[in-house]
């Protein structure tokens, strides 16, 4: 559980430079609250987010992050989780929605997530959640902008 609450490096999936992008807000909050570890924004397209490059793949990260936060459309979560597993990431927070909370027909996505997590030994919080909070103020995964949270 240490990696969920005390990670030294985090990959955030679903990031784009668009101001309203929810995954971008997570990266912004980590910066705003002073997270001292490494943050790797990963998105569908390469780009820039402040001083960071947005990576197009987790494979562009040299090290293996302690934690991944996934906030991509639900249909892309299994592939993203698979990429995390292949990279060696064993702790993942899936904030994405679009599963059985909307449609029982999406159960297959949840089953795929369970199978992938089991196959790679990944511990998962989620899906369809606001992330995790800890007493460490710099570790804030909810995708609410701190300007709205204060």
- The mean pLDDT of 124-134, rounded to a whole number, is 80
Domain 2-143 top-level CATH class: alpha beta
Among candidate residues 18, 56, 29, the one with its CA nearest the CA of residue 40: 56
Residue 65: pLDDT band by 50, 70, 90 thresholds?
Answer: very high
For the question of whether the overall pTM of this predicted structure is more than 0.85, the answer is yes
What's the CA gap between 96 and 113, in Å, rounded?
12
Number of Cβ within a 10 Å radius of residue 138: 14
DSSP strand pairing (9-13 vs 67-70): parallel
Q: Is residue 73 over pLDDT 80?
A: yes
| pLDDT exceeds cutoff 50 at 150 | no
- The three-class DSSP label of residue 75 is helix
Rounded Cα distance, 122 and 114, in Å: 9
């Amino acid at each position: 559980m240490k990696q969920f609450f005390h990670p030294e490096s985090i990959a955030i999936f679903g990031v784009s430079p668009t101001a309203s992008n929810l995954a971008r807000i997570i990266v912004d909050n980590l910066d705003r609250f002073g997270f001292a570890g490494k943050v790797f924004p990963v998105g569908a397209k390469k780009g820039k987010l402040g001083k960071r490059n947005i990576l197009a793949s987790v494979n562009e990260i040299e090290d293996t992050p302690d934690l991944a936060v996934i906030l991509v459309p639900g249909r892309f979560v299994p592939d993203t989780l698979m990429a995390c597993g292949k990279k060696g990431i064993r702790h993942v927070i899936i904030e994405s929605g679009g599963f059985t909370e909307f449609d029982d027909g999406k159960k297959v996505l949840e089953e795929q997530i369970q199978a992938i997590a089991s196959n790679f030994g990944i511990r998962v919080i989620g899906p369809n959640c606001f992330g995790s909070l800890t007493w460490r103020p710099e570790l804030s995964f909810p995708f609410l902008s701190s300007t709205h949270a204060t």
